[in-house]
Amino acid sequence: DAGITQSPRHKVTETGTPVTLRCHQTENHRYMYWYRQDPGHGLRLIHYSYGVKDTDKGEVSDGYSVSRSKTEDFLLTLESATSSQTSVYFCAISDSAAREPRQPQHFGDGTRLSIL
């Protein structure tokens, strides 16, 4: 299995509080992604990173920020959590398609976040 660890696995917090989710990889892959998954919407891309300090927005980036200061870590921050951000969050990693075109994304086990 690909070495991806998400922490925490579960979190309950209150509206207005800051929340940071961590994704840690041991595969030295270039690309890292944050998705949220909600019933009726599937997996939606929040932000992704194509290298250290290199990130870009996905389709649902409002209310979220990310940072990647090391190859192995990709952090997702909710500056002021809202109830609409209650979701399951998945981190994924992949190598460069130029180097390994057939290699898929590998997913972490997910973080279940509830905002009350």
Cβ nearer to other proteins, comparing 79 with 109:
109
Closest listed residue to residue 109, CA positions, set 48, 29, 21: 21
Report if residue 100 touches other proteins, rule: CB under 8 A. no
Applying CB under 8 A, does 40 fall inside the site for other proteins? yes
User: Where would I find the beta strands (DSSP E) of 14-105?
Assistant: 19-25, 31-38, 42-51, 54-57, 64-70, 73-78, 87-94
Query: Is residue 75 close enough to count as binding other proteins by CB under 8 A?
Result: no
Pick the closer one to other proteins by CB: 17 or 96.
Answer: 96
Interface contacts to other proteins, rule CB under 8 A: 31, 33, 35, 40-45, 48, 50, 54, 56, 58-59, 90, 92, 94, 96-97, 101-102, 104-110
